[in-house]
Amino acid sequence: MQIGELSRRTGVSVRMLRYYEEEGLLQPSRRDSGYRDYGPAEEQLVRRIRVFSDAGLKLHAIRTLLPCVLNDRPELELCNEVRATLNREIGGIEERIACLESSRDILVGYLRQDAKRPRIGVRLQR
Amino acid sequence: MQIGELSRRTGVSVRMLRYYEEEGLLQPSRRDSGYRDYGPAEEQLVRRIRVFSDAGLKLHAIRTLLPCVLNDRPELELCNEVRATLNREIGGIEERIACLESSRDILVGYLRQDAKRPRIGVRLQR
DNA sequence: CTACAGTCTCACAGCGCTGTCAGGGTCAAG
DNA sequence: CTTGACCCTGACAGCGCTGTGAGACTGTAG
């Protein structure tokens, strides 16, 4: 299948499909014309990349996950690597969540303060 | 006070202090030499900007908050504006939190799946 | 053969900061 | 006067994508 159809099927833009390739996540075969040719395996792979990508992983991180998915290195070692990567990513996400929660609390705090006083915080000397 | 000292006092880099000005958050006076001159009011303001900034607000949003802080427009109207801005920002943050939480759940799901099976998900046909 | 749709590569733009560098003034102390 | 620290403006780079455009080729239907 050509890149346009794969794009339509997966909802990933043509631009991004080429970008995935540039980043080493995809290696579609080429026709004589130079056109990229994707098979069902690639389509599956793209869908999987999308899941991780939607989950907020950067392509760089996803790439470290793919060897296990593609199974072109010994299983156990890689699955350990993958578990480590996932754990690291989950940790990062939770860190960001905690950060956002404290940000929200700060803003909520301002809002409460504002409800009590006419102005935010201490008045500036101007 | 010169920009360097303000930077040291507030922990905001010189570059960012100039950037705040570029974005209309600060309007320090100038000496004959062209050097920026900051007073205690500006120092306070910078600290306040930092609080919002650390809370994840974009400078653009912070700028809409400042007129109330500086009190150069009628209070009530502005405080309403500020309350609206804060509420909007809080909403945005909570949206991002929800998004990250679902991302995390997806990754945790993969991790669980991985614990049961030797490989992530369905095997690719290669 | 002629359109026209599809593809190719290369490359620039933009998001919102943030650092850094260049080339050039200013100001205090020695 | 000279040195060194400090300041000025302007501009480029980088983060991780993502869109868009140019200029050129390919493939298919009429």
How many distinct structural domains can be found in chain B? 1
Residue numbers of A between 11 and 70 with CB closer than 8 Å to B: 40-41, 44-45, 48, 51, 54-57, 65, 68-70
Residue A13 domain-assigned? yes
* Partners of A37 in beta bridges: A29
Q: pLDDT tens digit string along B51-98?
A: 888 877 889 888 888 776 665 545 555 577 788 888 888 888 888 888
Is the CB of residue A103 inside 7 Å of nucleic acid strand C? no
**CATH number of the domain within which B72 lies:** 1.10.1660.10
Query: What's the token pair of residue B93?
Result: 């943050």
Cβ–Cβ under 8 Å, residues B43 and A126: no
C-alpha angle A126/B34/B25, rounded to 5°? 45
C-alpha–C-alpha distance, residues A23 and A60, integer Å: 8
C-alpha–C-alpha distance, residues B113 and B121, integer Å: 7
Residue A112 domain-assigned? no
Residue B119 domain-assigned? no
Q: How far is the CA of A108 from the C1' of C26 (A)?
A: 45
Residue B10 CB contacts under 8 Å (≥ 6 apart), including other chains: B17, B43, B46, B47, B50
Query: What's the token pair of residue A105?
Result: 């609390």
Rounded to 10 degrees, what is the CA torsion of A53, A58, A60, A66? -30
What is the reported pLDDT for B49?
A: 92
Residue B73 domain-assigned? yes
Residue A110 domain-assigned? no
* Domain boundaries, position A84: 3-89
C-alpha–C-alpha distance, residues B7 and A1, integer Å: 58
Residue B54 domain-assigned? yes
Residue A97 domain-assigned? no
Residue A59 domain-assigned? yes
C-alpha–C-alpha distance, residues B13 and B21, integer Å: 13
pLDDT tens string for chain A (126 positions)? Answer: 999 999 999 999 999 999 999 999 999 999 999 999 999 999 999 998 998 888 788 898 888 887 776 655 455 555 777 888 888 888 888 888 887 888 888 888 878 765 555 444 444 443
Nucleotides of D under 7 A from a protein CB: 6-9, 11, 16-20, 25-27
